[in-house]
Structure 1
Amino acid sequence: MKAKPLLPREIDPKRVPPTWRPTVHPNPKLPESAVDRAAYVVCVLEQLYRAVNCRNVFASPSNW
């Protein structure tokens, strides 16, 4: 089953750096103004990977 494309309102544009914008946004195989889901996921995962390597990601304490 193929995943449907994302709509612009379903993503956080602050998470897409300028180098990723051409890959995430204008995909000729998708409907107009759709966002490439696979490219967006890889983009966000790359940002998380970089933040973890720089130790900029912290877990909140649990109150359980």
Structure 2
Amino acid sequence: MTKPRDWRKSTRSTNTSNCVEVGRLTNGAAVRDTKNRTAGHLTTTQAQWTAFIAALKTNRFE
């Protein structure tokens, strides 16, 4: 498995401490908690990440 790279945090999270970061993988994405970066990360495939982002954009979690 490749190591996540280019970790970034949402610009909407600048004034809060409850944030996650997303890192790039060759065929997907990785997500980790900014308060405990050493705890590891969750990985997804490209298809899973695309489905997750589509669900966010269509308010499926509200």
Structure 2 length as normaliser, TM-score? 0.31
Which structure has more RCO (C-alpha within 8 Å, separation ≥ 6)?
Answer: 1
Greater share of helix residues, 1 or 2?
Answer: 1
Q: Which has the larger radius of gyration?
A: 1
Greater share of strand residues, 1 or 2?
Answer: 2
Structure 1 length as normaliser, TM-score? 0.31
